[in-house]
Structure 1
Amino acid sequence: MMIGTLASAMASFARPGVCKAAAAYHGPPASNFNLGRILRYPNLIGCNRSPTKKSSAQLQLWRALTTLTKREGTVNGPAGTRFSTVADGVIAHNDHAASRIAASVARRQLTCTMGRVNYDVVVVGLGAFGSSVLYHLAKAGLKVLGVERYGPVGHSLGSSHGASRIIRMAYFEGLQYGPLLKRSMRLFLELQDELAAVQGPLSEPLFLRTGMLDVGSVFERALCSAQVQGLQHEVLTGAELNRRFPAYRVPEHWRALYQPDGGVLTPERIVQAHVGLAQRMGAQVLTGTTVAAWRVEGTGADAAVTFKLVPTDATAVAASKRMSYSDATATAVPRNVTAAAAVLTPGPWIGQLVPELRELCVPERQVVGWFEIEAAARSHFAPNRFPVFVLEETSGGAAYYGFPEHGQLPGFKIGLYRHLYEQIRNPGDLDRVNRTANAADEAALRSGVLSYFPTAAGRLLTSSTCFFTNTPDGHFLVERHPRYPQVILCSACSGHGFKMSSGIGQLISRMVREGPKDTAAAAATNTLQPPPPLPPSAPSPSAVDRHVVQGLPQMDSDSDGVDWSELLPFRFSPGDRPGHREALDRFS
């Protein structure tokens, strides 16, 4: 059988040096070579680009591919076809990888969609989640297009800007986040290393370790998370906290959890790094581009997702702030693009693309501010003396979060979760939101500064407005479209998603590559029970001192360590999650 021949050929086509000739081609490295590109550039098969000097294994693979392309059409032929899933096949340098790839190709039978598939995957929205998805899909060798409403990448009109985001490992929002946080921390560190290898001495860090404080009513839940995960931590009274970190002034009877692994992520640079590195691996990016409509055509393996793309309103694009990355790589906007799969990560615009989710995923205006610090106290707000924090006065009450003074923006940065509760129910209003802090915005933030950080109660120096997209229970939504399983929905970070964006991007990439039945078995076998707690005396090396994070196996070239239970809490669950039954009814 043709597919069996191809699979056996691929299994034998795995030894060092096979893909050296591919180095001349601008795309993924030779050790991670896209099979779809071999179909389009046949002379790249072999070590020497000479079709007369192929080994027997190479000839076997080439004959199989040639027969298959003759039967179903070639990418350059009049039918205009391409293989929509062959990019899942990657020729690697070892037998195990080649055997696994061959089995995957044989199982999926190199489905060919005649005359209409332009990409393997289209990712809509290149903020925190979308940029990470784009990067991991490109790294896997897929032909992928990223579409971003505004430009350039890293703009200030969405949810992934503002110079800093907190990452924390002791997570009071729920024990189910622990494995995903560890995965994400490791991936951020690996991204930082990869970017440094590309940029050299000019590369700036993506992560700044400061330690993390959970203060007030969040203490008990954060302590439980730290104990269950076996994280290093200290319990402090309010008096001890104030003495140790003199910028703080909290009630002396309060308690706080100090966890040394927390710190600051740089959101614009991380988004730009994910997108920039994805482009180096062959991804294409369109900025200043809006999805006017999308539809799924066909059924089963022949289904394809088509997007109608139009330029975003020029006035809105001009309002974005130009950051450090050049937008020169963005190409002209085509009218329509089609893909075998799609990932929708549009943040607050999810309700425009998927109207059924408007009541479940609700955008909200969020403002943060940088306040002037007294000259004599500025050293108290330095990163080595000021941990990032979440401070909640009472359970369900005002919850502030903040950062040390660092980077190019002077002052003490503080935010208030949910801020003024300014929900945006009409998707058309998102582009008209007031992005300048007003008196009410400043008063809400200044209240927290005066109460707990009085030496930073000077002028409001800078402000930044972004969006939270919230679900009723405050957890994310990562799920396949109920009607179109080749479309993955990912939104509703609920104000705390950036820190997990690297891990979620990797897991969604795997969802795409595995196909719609990816998590059926996992859903039946994985549970949401947390790992058993470690004794308080157990040794607990710092999670960021090394890339091997506790509780998660090391990844190698053949495995991304996927555990589907990390995504199960974020799927549709009409029996457990508020608003989900109603949302699913709207899809029917």
Structure 2
Amino acid sequence: MTTTRTNVAVIGTGTMGSAIMWRLSERGVPAVGLEQFTPGHDRGSGHGESRIFRTAYHEDPAYVPMLRAALRGWRELGEQTGEPVLTMTGGLSIGPSTGVIVGGSLEAAKVHALTQEILDPAEFSARFPTQRLREGDTAIWEKDAGVIRPELAITGAVRRACELGASVRPESRVLGIEDGPGDTVLVRLDEEVIRADRVVVAAGAWIPGLLPEAQLPLTVERKILAWFPAEDPTQFGPDRFPIFLRDSPEGTWYGFPTMDGKTVKIALHLGGRETDPDELDRVVHDEDTAPLRDLVRHYLPGLSSRPVRAAVCMYTNTPDGHFVIGNPPAYRNVTVVSACSGHGFKFAPVIGEIAADLSCGSTPEFSLELFDVNRFAD
């Protein structure tokens, strides 16, 4: 059994872990990333070709300053890696004016003086003929929205971290975390022990198994992504078909412009079978895509209502839908960063900075009250 010494060990190099590695390495902090699969894998929550970036955040206006920093971070990562990590398309929020999506977006824009356009039905139909409004719907357009490519983002951040001096152990499943000599923390693998001054756990759906004494009330939800062929793909390109979120009677759902020049991806935001990440059913069944087929048929003229491919991913949810960032009292010198609750990918660069601050003993720029790791203690 070999022992490796490092300043920071990051468990999980997916959505958040890759960004944490990148931000630590930029500061010259020695870091080791531990990944049970391979960076950019399709076994968790950081795959599927596209993720939404948006600024008028209906979940809570408190997120908006972090989003502004995250937007700068995505552009910075693209410049450093030379990869098309971010494509700005603008974005649509559609639904009842008093609904969560439209009402929350308007509130966030009001609090932070964001620019939005409320489109009347005639203007909406003229600008976006491949979307069909329901009677009574309100449509809002925002400029600062677009598509993040998750696989490119994760592999690019890991590659950049390694260029700056970090190391990554792929195919390395963590068996346990325990106190080490002095104030260090020991992370046990099959044939190696990592002895670190600080450990950051960014393992998404696997967090409860790694930190059982933290007693975090996280649930894992099986989600379906589906790609529908376009009759005329030019009508669904990033220049004509922006990212969107819709609040419909059938549920809250979202979609993207075509990224492959052939198909359009959509998915339901809420609803899904609770699962275990190690026992996830990764086969997409016909009944899984039935709700998405109905949505395409009703709201997206120009798309075939039969998907040509589909995939399974996971949401790791907290009871209130907000993230968990902080130091569980049951663990010394361990920071947990995750529980994205289905909307966290877009924050990765700024959460990477926050985790780097915490690992280095610095005070983060942003308040973490909303994400307090102890808020579920009672």
The answer, yes or no, to whether TM exceeds 0.5 is: yes
Matching residue of 1:484: 331
TM-align CA RMSD: 1.8
The C-alpha deviation readout for 1:531-553, integer Å capped at 9, x for no partner, is xxxxxxxxxxxxxxxxxxxxxxx
Q: Which residue matches 1:211? A: 90
The answer to whether 1:380 aligns with 2:235 is yes
Q: For residue 213 of structure 1, what is the amino acid of its counterpart?
A: L
Superposition deviation, residue 297 in structure 1: 2.6
1:568 positional shift: 2.4
The answer for the alignment partner of 1:555 in structure 2 is none
Give how far 1:387 is off: 1.0
What residue is the counterpart of 2:223 in the other structure?
366
Q: How much has 1:379 moved relative to structure 2? A: 2.4
- Superposition deviation, residue 231 in structure 1: 1.9
Q: Matches of residues 335-350 of structure 1 in structure 2 within 5 Å? A: 335-350=192-207
Contact 1:121 1:145 (C-alpha < 8 Å) held by counterparts: yes
Sequence identity (%): 34
**Pairing 1:399–2:252 present:** yes
Partner of 1:415: 267
1:464 aligns with 2:320: no
Aligned to 2:129: 246
Name the residue aligned to 1:307.
187
Q: Which one of 143, 157, 168 corresponds to residue 30 of structure 2?
A: 143
> Alignment partner for residue 133 of structure 1, among 8, 20, 34?
20
- Corresponding residue number in structure 2 for 1:440: 287
Offset at residue 485 of structure 1 (A): 4.1
How far the C-alpha of 1:252 sits from its partner, in A, is 4.2
Q: Of Structure 1 and Structure 2, which has the larger fraction of its residues in helix? A: 1
Match of 2:118, SS state, is: strand
The correspondence for 2:244, drawn from 361, 385, 389, is: 389
**1:378 maps to amino acid:** P
Q: Specify which of 116, 139, 146 is matched with residue 256 of structure 1.
A: 139
Question: What do the CA deviations read for 1:99-131 (whole angstroms, capped 9, x no partner)?
Answer: xxxxxxxxxxxxxxxx97700000000111000
Instruction: Specify which of 466, 477, 497 is matched with residue 344 of structure 2.
Output: 497
Does structure 1 conserve the Cα–Cα contact (< 8 Å) formed by 2:214 and 2:329? no
Picking from 144, 148, 163, the partner of 1:280 is: 163
Unaligned runs of 5+ in 2: none
Gaps of 5+ in 1: 1-114, 197-203, 311-333, 520-561, 575-579, 583-588
Aligned residue type for 1:305: V
Residues 284 and 568 from structure 1, CA distance in 2 versus in 1: closer, same or farther, beyond 3 angstroms? same
Query: What CA distance in whole angstroms lies between the structure 1 residues aligned with 2:104 and 2:53?
Result: 16
Alpha-carbon distance in 2 for matches of 1:444, 1:497: 24
Write 1 or 2 for the structure with the bigger share of strand: 2
How many pairs align? 373
Name the counterpart of 2:377.
581
1:295 paired to 2:178: yes
Q: Are the structure 2 counterparts of residues 358 and 462 from structure 1 closer, same or farther at C-alpha, using a change threshold of 3 Å?
A: farther
> Which whole-Å CA distance do the structure 1 matches of 2:135 and 2:240 have between them?
19
Partners of 2:58 and 2:105 within 8 A in 1: yes
Amino acid of the structure 1 residue aligned with 2:248: E
Task: Point out which structure has higher relative CO (alpha carbons under 8 A, 6+ apart).
Answer: 2
Give the stretch that moved more between structures: 437-446 or 129-138: 437-446
Give the Å deviation of 1:240: 2.7
1:195 pairs, out of 76, 81, 101, with 81
AA aligned opposite 1:206: V
Q: Is contact 1:238-1:252 (8 Å) kept?
A: no
- Per-residue CA deviations over 1:32-53 (Å, capped at 9, x if unaligned) read xxxxxxxxxxxxxxxxxxxxxx
Looking at structure 2, the residues matched to 308 and 485 of structure 1 have their Cα atoms a distance apart, in angstroms, of: 16
Residue pair 2:179, 2:332 contacting (<8 A) in 1 also: no
Q: In the superposition, relative to structure 1, how do residues 454 and 512 fare at CA in structure 2: closer, same or farther (>3 Å)?
A: same
| Mapped partners of 1:482, 1:116: distance in 2 | 26
- Amino acid paired to 2:155: Q
C-alpha contact 1:167 1:262 (8 A) present in aligned 2: yes
User: Within 1, Cα distance between the matches of 2:30 and 2:88?
Assistant: 35
Q: Rate the CA distance shift 1:407–1:262 in 2: closer, same or farther, 3 A.
A: same
Equivalent in 86, 94, 109 of residue 226 of structure 1: 109
Q: Which residue of 1 aligns with 2:62?
A: 176
d(CA) in 2 for partners of 1:272, 1:257: 33
> Does the aligned pair in 2 maintain the 1:117–1:304 contact within 8 Å?
no
| CA 1:335–1:477: 2 relative to 1, 3 Å | same
TM value normalised by structure 2: 0.94
1:451 counterpart SS class:
helix
**Partner SS state of residue 325, structure 2:** strand
- Write the distance in 2 (CA, Å) between the matches of 1:356 and 1:494: 21
Q: Counterpart in 2 of 1:186?
A: 72
Residues in 1 aligned to 2:295 and 2:161: alpha-carbon distance in whole angstroms: 40
Question: What's 2:370 paired with?
Answer: 569
1:238 and 1:253 in contact (8 A); partners too: no
Question: What secondary structure sits across from 1:264 in the alignment?
Answer: strand
Q: 1:359 to 1:448 in 2, by over 3 A?
A: farther
CA displacement 1:337-365 (0-9 Å, x = unmatched): 11010000001000110124566111111
**Larger radius of gyration, structure 1 or 2?**
1
**Which SS does the other structure have where 1:422 is aligned?**
coil
Which amino acid letter does the alignment assign opposite residue 60 of structure 2?
G
TM-score, structure 1 as length reference: 0.61
